[in-house]
Amino acid sequence: TSYERDVLERVHERIAAEKFDISKEIITPRVRRLWPRIGIAAAVATIIVSAGIWFYQGSQKDASVQVAVMDDVAPGHQSATLTLASGKKIVLSDAANGELAKEAGVIISKTASGQLIYEIKDENAESDKINILTTDNGETYQVRLPDGSSVWLNAASTLKYPASFAKLKDRRVELSGEGYFEVAKDKTHPFIVKTAEQEVEVLGTHFNVNAYADEKAIATTLLEGSVKVSSGEKNNKILKPGEQALNKGNTILVKEVDTENITDWKDGDFNLDQVDFRIAMRKIARWYDVEVIYDDNLSNDIQISGWISRSKKLSSVLKFIESSGLVHFKVEGRKVYVSK
């Protein structure tokens, strides 16, 4: 909860102030929610002990973490560009709240909270009007589709979908990049997410699809319900909640995962629990719209752990990672140089 995070940040801020002479930006260690709450006093005591150990270990290698930053980079924000079937483009962060357009018997609006919503006014309207929602690096956005399904679109992503699903036998959308889906139940009209190399078919469920072109595989992670992941006619897998399908083109591998690590972006966090360093840096690069340049001598097998909010400035996130003693950062404009 937000209250628990406030407690975590205040405790951690005091520890950091005693241990290090660094920025006042708060870097909070990740605490797994594996047990029932046992009282705030006990919880705070545990946090203090855990945080003290974490910082002590980090301080053995570097007691004063200093990221070389010439110009700090602000975090990303809520924005996207909506392209209507007519070709008209609407930058949603610049658009006023309220009705934006009417298309295919649907009113398209922006809410006070910044969500894009589609409201059906004519069930018999044509269904061939395609809308495109696009986020750049450093942008994220939420849309409620005409069937009531909700999609959270991560940075550098594109979602194509009909302005209305009326008269269609299925609810088909196309995704590049990453999206989190909460699909409205409709047993007679399957919901299908198509990416470059696969399809995900559902009736009503919560799942995440990571289909960035610079990742080694398309990752489909199920949080609730059931989905079928298909790549070709004979290559398909049925997922259970907590499972992830990795599609590398020829094969689909299924494994169990911690879903908090997968949907962290939707909740406004970087959850880096035993995460490959370069995968983490690709997430950071998309959110802060920066280019990451690696030293030739840097190992390809670095793993990091921890949690930090995506609302922090870039320097705070890099200080958090650098405190492990495994890497060093130098930032020049929108270029991040990484060395040992």
Residues 88 and 108: beta-carbon distance below 8 Å: no
Q: Would you say residue 315 has pLDDT above 60?
A: yes
Which domains are seen in the chain, by residue range? 2-64+268-339 (3.55.50.30), 77-260 (2.60.120.1440)
Cα torsion through 300, 244, 170, 178, rounded to 10 = -30
Render 270-286 in DSSP notation, one character per residue. Answer: EEEEEEEHHHHHHHHHH
d(CA 46, CA 114): 38
Please compute the mean of the pLDDT values over residues 228-248 and round it to a whole number. Answer: 91
Question: What are the pLDDT digits (tens) for 94-113?
Answer: 999 999 999 878 999 999 99
Q: Give CA separation, 261 vs 90, 100, 200, 256, 323, in Å.
A: 32, 35, 20, 12, 21
Residues 220 and 207: beta-carbon distance below 8 Å: yes
Positive or negative torsion for Cα 253, 254, 255, 261: positive
Instruction: Write the CB contacts of 86 (distance below 8 Å, at least 6 apart in sequence).
Output: 103
Question: What are the pLDDT digits (tens) for 34-69?
Answer: 333 334 333 333 333 333 334 333 434 443 455 666
Assign 322 to helix, strand or coil: helix
CB atoms within 10 A of CB 300: 8
Q: Give the H/E segment covering residue 41.
A: helix 40-59
The residue among 84, 111, 80 whose CA lies nearest residue 93 is 80
* pLDDT value of residue 60: 40
* pLDDT value of residue 153: 99
The reported pTM is 0.79
Query: pLDDT band at 166, cuts 50/70/90?
Result: confident
* pLDDT value of residue 170: 94
The residue among 222, 213, 322 whose CA lies nearest residue 272 is 322
Q: Would you say residue 22 has pLDDT above 80?
A: no
Please compute the mean of the pLDDT values over residues 278-299 and round it to a whole number. Answer: 97
* pLDDT value of residue 121: 86
* pLDDT value of residue 53: 33
- pLDDT: which is higher, 277 or 203: 277
Render 216-268 in DSSP notation, one character per residue. Answer: SSEEEEEEES-EEEESSSS-EEEE-TTEEEEE-SS-EEEEE--HHHHSGGGGT
Print burial letters for 155-172: b (CB count within 10 Å at least 16), e (below 16): bbbbbbbbbbbbeeeebb
CB atoms within 10 A of CB 308: 21
* pLDDT value of residue 57: 38
The pairing of strands 199-202 and 335-339 is unpaired
- pLDDT: which is higher, 287 or 274: 287
Terminal CA-CA length for the chain: 36
